[in-house]
Amino acid sequence: MRLRLRTVSMLKDTEAVTQTMFKSMFTYISGPKTQSKPSGCVAACKEEEKDANEFAKVYAIELIYLEELLEHISMRLIKIRVSVLNILNHKIRKFD
């Protein structure tokens, strides 16, 4: 019984950490809020457009990296869950 309580507690802690991590990543992915600016000089607009394109490229690269990281984390969580379930199954069979 104690093993089950400790396991449930550990799984709840893992779930809380995972949720916090995902919220943090999604906040980062959503990026900063931009506000529209009044139109100005054509040259300034072209420079801003160039900067925006460079930002978009960097943002896309970061997004790909985060997607790969998220996939890796998901796979690790699945492996951990399987391991915990196998341990519980083994302990339950041992007591039966």
Q: Is residue 80 part of a domain?
A: yes
Distance, in Å, from the CA atom of 94 to the CA atom of 96, rounded to the nearest integer, reads 6
Distance, in Å, from the CA atom of 18 to the CA atom of 26, rounded to the nearest integer, reads 12
Range of the domain at 62: 2-26+41-95
Q: How far apart are the first and last CA of the chain?
A: 13
Grade residue 96 by pLDDT with cuts at 50, 70 and 90.
low
- The pLDDT value given to residue 52: 76
Q: How far is CA 89 from CA 2, 8, 75, 86, 95, in A?
A: 15, 14, 21, 5, 10
Q: What is the pLDDT of residues 62-82, one digit of tens each?
A: 888 888 888 898 889 899 888
pTM above 0.85, yes or no: no
The single residue listed with the structure tokens 């790969």 is 68
Q: Is residue 33 part of a domain?
A: no
- Answer yes or no: are the C-beta atoms of 43 and 15 closer than 8 Å: no
- The pLDDT value given to residue 29: 72
How many structural domains are present in the chain? 1
Q: Is 9 a residue whose pLDDT tops 70? A: yes
Q: Is residue 77 part of a domain?
A: yes
Distance, in Å, from the CA atom of 15 to the CA atom of 11, rounded to the nearest integer, reads 6
Average pLDDT of the residues of the chain = 77
